[in-house]
Amino acid sequence: MPRGFKICGSCNSRCPIALKKCKCGKNFEKKIKKKCSKCGDSLSLKQKRCSCGNYKLNSRRGHKFNPKMQGHYRLMRFVGRMLPMVELRENMVSRELKVAKFILHICYEDYDFLGKLKRPHWIKGSLLWFKTKDGIKFLKEKYKEYLYQLPDDDIIVDEGEKKGEDIVDTKPRNLRDFLNE
């Protein structure tokens, strides 16, 4: 049974949430979450398709993407990718996220680097190795490799003119040619 109160818009009285009608006689309406992008009709939470045939884009109830949480989502994906075979309990997830934030701090807040970092084969159950001296050294080396760009080679243009003498290197075919050299 839902708990709490809602306030009536016409008489400003508190009514229990379970009531569909206020004491003053006003009916409480269901909250409509979304409107159809094609025709503009209202869609309730349970409807997945509009009368015009358009699908509802966000079918999960009340879930909206929060751009402020994008870094957290990327860190969660990083932890899941680095420890794929380990089932993490709730306290382990918070510990691994803290280590992931530490890794991110070493890499100067570069989320793209975290997306391309591959798990070393010796890491099995936790990311805590990255907090050791060897782990920090490993991360700094990998980050330098990630930032390194190969220098562009100079383009050699063939002008068509010969410069210098041709070097003709012939091998002697028999013993007499070899001795005559």
Distance CA 139, CA 161 (A): 51
Residue type, 62: G
Question: What six digits make up the tokens of 171?
Answer: 């091998």
- The string of pLDDT tens digits covering residues 1-31 is 456 777 787 788 877 776 777 878 887 765 5
Give the torsion through C-alpha atoms of 18, 20, 26, 30, to 10 deg: 100
Average pLDDT of the chain to the nearest whole number: 79
Distance CA 177, CA 164 (A): 27
According to the model, what pLDDT value does residue 59 have? 44
Question: What six digits make up the tokens of 39?
Answer: 């025709």
Q: Beta strand pairing status for 14-16 and 5-7?
A: antiparallel
pLDDT at position 55 over 60: no
- The string of pLDDT tens digits covering residues 68-109 is 788 888 888 898 888 877 777 777 888 999 999 999 999 888
According to the model, what pLDDT value does residue 32 have? 46
Is pTM beyond 0.85? Reply is no
- The string of pLDDT tens digits covering residues 103-139 is 999 988 888 999 899 989 888 888 999 999 999 999 9
Residue with tokens 């010969």: 162
Q: What is the DSSP string of the chain?
A: ----EEE-TTT--EEETT-SB-TTSPBPPPPP-EE-TTT--EE-SS--B-TTSPBPS--STT----GGGHHHHHHHHHHHHHSTT----HHHHHHHHHHHHHHHHHTTT-HHHHHHPPPPTT--S-SGGGGSHHHHHHHHHHHHHHH--PPPPPPP---S---SPPP------SHHHHHH-
